[in-house]
């Protein structure tokens, strides 16, 4: 299905009256001046001993969201900046800007985005000649940081016009608020016309609509508003309606019992089958950030107030859910390892019935005593313990992670530098799926082999997110070291899309060269490190609802979960039993492998008991563990798995129908 849209749009009128939304005070017009204040970065534990004083920063980093408007040119000059001189730019930065400008796409004489890659050496273009919504974000930030706002404004307007088109895939009409995954300019030399051709997922691998596109669009709209101080674009009827349509898709009522967003595989940056179906951390973090950004830009009219109320309720529930159930650190891992299963009623501690035997062996060695992260996925009887970089970095920037959790995530990156960064930042996921697990989870995907592409590959585009997270947490030296690693290879290797190998040492087997978001991410990271005030565009400070729930999100769980209902006033009517509440928390037995960790003789829990033997065709071994999370149910043949009653814990193995 191909759709076209005319490129005309109405002129935007500058408005100076106060904004009507709760976060309008973020746009402090008294600070709209070229001489922006400089901020001192609070230095914390990092790899390098060098100080950060060479950046000439004074003051305090936090709160970053109150920096005010950043509409002047960035600290790093570019070829179009008034202060630019060819002698001021380092060769690699100059090369990156040249490559970025060559990727710009024009529609009827106006810049509207950047193509995914300018790789003329590759024989097949595929869809790398299109403007992807998620891919354009780092490019847009680079342009905003140098005062080049027009291309970002045009992109936002064109994509919101594309949203209004009718969207069908195989005779099925998509939701009205779905944003395109990408678009391209179609030239008709005969008629001498140009049209925009949108892809809403019908051309993607797996034909999955992009869930993240709408979130990235809202986040970028706020970044544009914060950078320019121009409220008029976000207040246009087109943008207001576009935000409401996106939110309508996400806030609609259904059968969900969780505030998280249910998604299919391949609906985000990981656009191939990788076992992230359900409630992936990347989507939940973007969802949280988009809700907060939309809350700051929606008008307080009749329609806007309704959505603002729904957003506040969802943010409250979503923040509580993510910090409680997705967070994993040493203490929480120990608790899960000791979980009881098959708990019923409201007093259950193991609310998702996670089977301790389903905990993968690698996590016991990977989890340091100091550090933590949001796991990849949580759903009934399933916890994906993999690390996903994008979701955790967005969690820091959006303040989904509390300050304590943000510090713990950075601690983890420091403690596991070789695993998560290696020789090229940054691992998109860790660890890689291998062997039979890879065959079951990815469907034998030849592109997602172990330590390649989305399966443990290293993606330079994540450098800007890592840098932003480092600056927000007061650890710029981590970002500095990561940037230096990237500078050793990126330009020499031709700015590839991704790297392969356990350490990210090899250019990806199918990686495109001159990948635009790899180029833009490097530039954004450099400018963020040089001028941390740019962080205000893409960072949100902790809100009231976050501080109210902070005590749930401590990296060390110091309370018994059975006592939580008594500690929250808004959960006063939460049902519980006196016996359960009065039961003191038992100390860990001295023999627990977590109590006395020894670097010379690491301990591991016992090997999980394999499922009982069954008839030929039954689910066994790794496949059984992946599909049931080690559910202790003797499913012995294919007949049994077709009837839900045979998944009952009380099923005795009889397959007679």
| % residues pLDDT > 70 (the chain) | 69
- Following DSSP, what letter does each residue of 525-560 receive, concatenated? HHHHHH-GGGGGGT-----HHHHHTGGG--SS--S-
427 secondary structure, DSSP code: B
Question: CA-CA-CA-CA torsion for 55, 58, 64, 69, nearest 10 degrees?
Answer: -90
Closest by Cα among 356, 5, 55 to 164: 5
How far is CA 578 from each of CA 339, 349, 584, rounded to the nearest angstrom? 21, 15, 12
* Average pLDDT taken over every residue of the chain: 79
Cβ atoms of 355 and 630 within 8 Å: the answer is yes
Q: pTM to 2 decimals?
A: 0.74
pLDDT of residue 202: 82
Using only C-alpha atoms, what is the Rg of the chain?
25
**Tokens 């994540």, located at residue:** 462
The answer, yes or no, to whether residue 209 has pLDDT greater than 60, is: yes
* Omega within 30 of 0 (cis) for the link into 431: yes
Work out the average pLDDT over 528-549: 84
Q: Is 374 helix (H, G, I), strand (E, B) or coil?
A: strand
How far is residue 214's CA from residue 241's CA, in Å, rounded to a whole number?
13
Strand positions, DSSP E, 305-406: 327-329, 372-374, 377-379, 382-384, 387-388
pLDDT of residue 32: 36
The residue among 381 and 2 whose pLDDT is bigger is 381
Work out the average pLDDT over 596-623: 49
Q: Is 332 helix (H, G, I), strand (E, B) or coil?
A: helix
Instruction: Give start and end residues of each alpha helix (H) in 20-132.
Output: 91-102
The residue among 292 and 27 whose pLDDT is bigger is 292
The answer, yes or no, to whether residue 204 has pLDDT greater than 50, is: yes
The residue among 532 and 28 whose pLDDT is bigger is 532
The answer, yes or no, to whether residue 601 has pLDDT greater than 90, is: no
640 secondary structure, DSSP code: H
CA torsion through residues 318, 324, 325, 328, sign: positive
Which tokens hold the place of 3?
Answer: 């759709």
Write the pLDDT tens digit of every residue in 291-340: 999 999 999 998 889 999 999 999 999 999 999 999 999 999 999 999 88
Work out the average pLDDT over 477-506: 98
pLDDT of residue 594: 37
Question: CA-CA-CA-CA torsion for 360, 364, 365, 369, nearest 10 degrees?
Answer: 150
How far is residue 398's CA from residue 246's CA, in Å, rounded to a whole number?
18
The set of residues, in sequence order, having a beta carbon less than 8 Å from that of 263 and lying 6+ positions away, is 211, 276, 277, 278, 279, 280, 283
- Following DSSP, what letter does each residue of 141-173 receive, concatenated? HHHHHTT--HHHHHHHHHHHHHHTS--EETTEE
Cβ atoms of 381 and 628 within 8 Å: the answer is yes
204 secondary structure, DSSP code: S
Cβ atoms of 288 and 318 within 8 Å: the answer is yes
Confidence of residue 206 (pLDDT cuts 50, 70, 90): confident
Closest by Cα among 54, 39, 36 to 474: 39
pLDDT of residue 302: 86
Q: Encode burial over 304-319: b for 16+ CB neighbours within 10 A, e otherwise.
A: beebbebbbebbbebb
Write the pLDDT tens digit of every residue in 546-556: 555 543 433 33
Confidence of residue 619 (pLDDT cuts 50, 70, 90): low
């Amino acid at each position: 299905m191909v759709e076209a849209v005319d490129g005309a749009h109405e002129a935007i009128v500058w408005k100076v009256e106060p904004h009507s939304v709760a976060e309008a005070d973020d746009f402090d017009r008294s600070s709209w001046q070229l001489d922006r204040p400089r901020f001192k970065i609070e230095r914390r534990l990092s790899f390098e001993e060098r100080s950060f004083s060479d950046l000439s920063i004074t003051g305090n980093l936090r709160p970053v969201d109150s920096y005010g408007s950043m509409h002047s040119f960035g600290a790093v000059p570019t070829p179009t900046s008034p202060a630019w001189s060819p002698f001021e730019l380092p060769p690699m930065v100059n090369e990156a800007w040249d490559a970025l400008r060559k990727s710009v796409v024009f529609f009827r004489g106006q810049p509207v985005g950047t193509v995914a890659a300018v790789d003329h050496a590759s024989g097949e273009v595929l869809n790398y000649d299109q403007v992807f919504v998620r891919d354009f974000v780092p490019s847009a930030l680079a342009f905003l940081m140098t005062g080049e706002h027009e291309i970002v404004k045009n992109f936002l307007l064109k994509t919101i016009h594309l949203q209004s088109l009718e969207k069908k895939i195989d005779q099925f009409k998509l939701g009205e608020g779905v944003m395109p995954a990408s678009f391209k300019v179609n030239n008709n030399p005969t008629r001498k016309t140009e049209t925009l051709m949108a892809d809403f997922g019908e051309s993607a691998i797996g034909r999955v609509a992009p869930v993240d596109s709408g979130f990235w669009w809202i986040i970028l709209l706020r970044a544009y508003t914060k950078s320019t101080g121009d409220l008029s674009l976000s207040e246009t009827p087109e943008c207001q309606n576009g935000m409401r349509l996106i939110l309508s898709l996400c806030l609609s009522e259904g059968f969900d019992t969780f505030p998280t967003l249910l998604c299919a595989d391949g609906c985000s940056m990981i656009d191939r089958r990788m076992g992230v179906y359900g409630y992936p951390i990347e989507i939940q973090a973007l969802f949280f950030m988009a809700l907060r950004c939309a809350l700051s830009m929606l008008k307080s009219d009749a329609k806007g107030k309704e959505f603002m109320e729904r957003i506040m309720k969802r943010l409250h529930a979503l923040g509580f859910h993510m910090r409680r159930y997705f967070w994993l650190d040493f203490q929480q891992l120990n608790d899960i390892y000791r979980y009881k299963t098959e708990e019923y009623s409201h007093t259950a501690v193991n609310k998702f019935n996670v089977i301790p035997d389903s905990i993968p062996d690698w996590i016991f060695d990977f989890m340091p005593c100091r550090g933590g992260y949001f796991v990849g996925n949580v759903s009934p009887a399933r916890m994906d313990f993999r690390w996903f970089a994008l979701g955790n970095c967005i969690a820091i920037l959006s303040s989904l992670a509390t300050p304590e959790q943000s510090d713990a995530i950075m601690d983890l990156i420091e403690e596991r530098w070789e695993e998560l960064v290696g020789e090229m930042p940054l691992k998109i996921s860790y660890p890689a799926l291998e062997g039979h697990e890879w065959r079951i989870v990815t469907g034998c995907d030849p592109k997602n082999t172990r330590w390649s592409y989305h399966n443990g590959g290293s993606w330079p585009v994540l450098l800007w997110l890592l840098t932003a997270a480092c600056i927000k947490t007061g650890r710029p030296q981590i970002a500095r070291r990561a940037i230096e690693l990237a500078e050793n290879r990126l330009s020499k290797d031709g700015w590839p899309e991704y790297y392969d190998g356990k350490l990210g040492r090899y250019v990806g087997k199918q990686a495109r060269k001159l990948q635009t978001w790899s180029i833009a991410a490097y530039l954004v990271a450099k400018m963020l490190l040089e001028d941390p005030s740019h962080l205000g565009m893409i960072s949100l400070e902790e809100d009231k609802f976050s501080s109210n729930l902070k005590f749930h999100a401590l990296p060390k769980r110091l309370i018994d979960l059975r006592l939580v209902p008594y500690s929250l006033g808004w959960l006063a009517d939460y049902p519980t039993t006196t016996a359960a509440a009065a039961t003191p928390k038992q100390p860990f037995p001295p023999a627990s492998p977590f109590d006395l960790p020894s670097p010379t003789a690491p301990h591991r829990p016992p090997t999980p008991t394999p499922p009982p033997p069954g008839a030929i065709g039954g689910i066994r071994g790794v496949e059984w563990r992946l599909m049931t999370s080690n559910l202790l149910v003797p499913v012995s043949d294919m007949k049994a798995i077709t009837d839900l009653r045979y998944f009952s814990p009380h099923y005795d193995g009889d397959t007679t129908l």
